[in-house]
Structure 1
Amino acid sequence: MSYTIKDVAKLANVSIATVSRVLNGQGGYSKATEEKVHLAIEELGYQPNAFARGLISNKSNTLGILFPEVSSQFSSKILRGVEEAAHCLNSSVIVCNTASHGQRTMKYLQLLTEKRVDGILFVSEMITEEYYKKLESMQIPVVLISTESYQYPLPYVKVDDKHAAFTATDYLIKMGHSKIGMISGNKDDIIAGQPRIDGYKQALAQRGLAIKDENIIHSNGFSFHDGLTGLPKLLEQSPDLTAVFAASDALALGAISAAYKLGIKIPDNLSIIGYDNLPIAEMSIPPLTTVAQPLEEMGIVAAEMLFTMMNQGRRVESRIIAHSVIERESVKKLILYDT
């Protein structure tokens, strides 16, 4: 038999409104009353209807999170942080895989509207005018992760991509390299593409090293395949390079695979540094030196920011999370550059 909130109220000898307040932790009742309600719930085996409770409290206790690629290690690390924070605050997470397609993103935003989510986390994708108008119409808090919008006033959590790319390139210089190439993502990507290229160039310029177009390969994205095809092109253009900065770990791993096929030993013949510090980076041969984005921490921080906005109804400040170099075995130390 399926019992209702009315049955719980009758057995506990209280009003339906009191049972509702107990279920939603709203106060206004004694400890004895609370215990009677919980005993009645336990005796009847009553299961509160989350949707019905949401209608009363005007909360669904759910968040929506949109990823362009939900199966990637990048996304899974962020999701782990988000779910950890959400679990601690008694909320659930609805995960949406947009595949970077505008039409699919709009469909998911409509779905999240229908599910009455309390807030949205938007990961690693540019905010278009169409997305922003839809988000505005939902009238719920939104926090961006690993992306930002120059046009729309949405708080974000991310690493400073330009600074992190500068750090990666400068690390290679400090390890004695002066002939450094780059395999970048899409240069038209203003979030993670061009800023990482700018950081690479700034590091070279600051050390008085030449910036040459032939030392950069612009990929379509940040995938393993882009790195696999990118390294041979780069070395064909600039065969005297001693080191390469790859703008993602996937690019770096693709480059390491290409080097193996070309008979190039990493790091004896060519040093490679990546970007992200994904779990697979330490599994590669050799283990990949990389710039770490603390992805799990970014997920936790973003979720906590979202809950602050949901519970206090105020804007929060955007957060830049610190990056760091994780030294492994893919970079060889040459004669130190004069620092």
Structure 2
Amino acid sequence: MTITIKDIANAAKVSTATVSRVLNGAGGYNEETKIKILQIAKELGYRRNEMARSLVKKSSNLIGIIMPSVSTIFYADIVNGMEKVAQAHGFSVILSHAGEKGNRLIDCLKMLEERKVDGLVIVSIPLKEEQIQAIESLSIPYVLLSTDTKNKRIPFIKVDDYEASYAATKYLIDHGHQKIGLAGVDFSDRVAGIARMEGYKRALCDHEISFSANYIKAGDYSFSAGKEALYAFHAEKTDITAVFCVSDEVALGIISAAFELGIQIPNDLSVMGYDNTRVAEMAVPPLTTIEQPFQAMGEKGCLKIIEAIQQKITVKTEMLPFAIVERASVSKRDY
């Protein structure tokens, strides 16, 4: 079990801010409080954060990036955006992978602590409270990219997944489709999965189109999830004319399975993607999709961290715009 400053604060009956000031020698407390907090920290086995103390005196010009250990293509654009801005401002980045669901995040934090990074960017990892506390104990600027939390004090940069999914579904409806499937969605993903599903459902409801649970196929945003979804639709003889995919990789899986099943895209089935990764325009046919500005997201995230480091300002949340990129995977259907 990781001991956090919150555990010490609870035991000492003081605020976490007071504990942080004592542990980092920042002042603003009496000697009795200092002795009490240090004694409790020792008894609980708290590991003093030497990195945070050193940052008061010296900057390493390093920014840590933590992301899941998955093969999703869009991460490259985010990292490229960060590296571009970092290099322009005399910083370097360190990349670490926190496992498929971010389960190794604490280990990544310890590694970055040892490297004495000045700031931190966390990509597409929904955080638990104990992880948030561990991040905050570093006492360095940080921001989340392409994710958020229920905790309003945590800064993030992302697209509104609900609105983007609503727009994608409406696009298909405007093209004459009423029997629209949803493929590849992770029901346990509070940040992106649920938001994209709810945006899809809301668009159907607003256009008085009945919702069917059979039209939704779960997955993990992957190519294989797309293939499995279309084979399931086919086996169940689902009468969908279009499918909204929660990632471009899912859409490519749908297109691949369609080729194997003799289903023509878009004549028999229209396919809408999400992300506008580099493979979207390489697909056959080229994929109509929702564009997330991943490189801009990386650039903004890195710039906000550098400004926070250099100007001692607070990192603020920012929502970025999405766009529909029209190609050739969606056809107009007349009823």
Q: Deviations over 1:108-150 (max 9, x none)?
A: 1101001110000000011112211211111101100000011
CA drift at 1:235: 3.5
Q: Aligned-pair RMSD on alpha carbons?
A: 1.8
1:298 counterpart residue number: 297
Q: Which amino acid aligns with 1:62?
A: L
**Equivalent-residue separation in structure 1 for 2:100 and 2:130 (angstroms):** 14
**Equivalent-residue separation in structure 1 for 2:305 and 2:237 (angstroms):** 47
1:250 counterpart residue number: 249
Instruction: Give the TM-score normalised by structure 2.
Output: 0.81
CA drift at 1:153: 1.8
Q: Which amino acid aligns with 1:265?
A: Q
CA drift at 1:69: 3.3
User: What stretches of structure 1 move > 2 A for 4+ residues in a row?
Assistant: 54-57, 69-72, 99-104, 234-239
**Equivalent-residue separation in structure 2 for 1:132 and 1:317 (angstroms):** 16
SS at 1:112's partner residue? helix
Q: Which amino acid aligns with 2:173?
A: I
Structure 1 residues 80-89 or 151-160, which shifts more?
151-160
State how 1:75-224 maps to structure 2 within 5 Å.
Answer: 75-151=75-151, 153-219=153-219, 221-224=220-223
SS at 1:158's partner residue? strand
Count residues with an aligned counterpart.
283
Q: Which amino acid aligns with 1:164?
A: A
CA drift at 1:71: 4.8
Instruction: Give the TM-score normalised by structure 1.
Output: 0.80
Q: Which amino acid aligns with 2:198?
A: D
Q: Deviations over 1:268-306 (max 9, x none)?
A: 100000000000111111111100001000001111111
2:334 counterpart residue number: 335
Structure 2 residues without counterparts, runs of 5 or longer: 1-53
Calculate percent identity across the aligned residue pairs: 39
1:262 counterpart residue number: 261
Q: Which amino acid aligns with 2:313?
A: R
Q: Which amino acid aligns with 1:321?
A: L
**Equivalent-residue separation in structure 2 for 1:103 and 1:193 (angstroms):** 18
Q: Which amino acid aligns with 1:185?
A: V
Whose radius of gyration is greater, 1 or 2?
1
**Equivalent-residue separation in structure 1 for 2:55 and 2:159 (angstroms):** 38
2:322 counterpart residue number: 323
SS at 1:138's partner residue? coil
Structure 1 residues without counterparts, runs of 5 or longer: 1-53
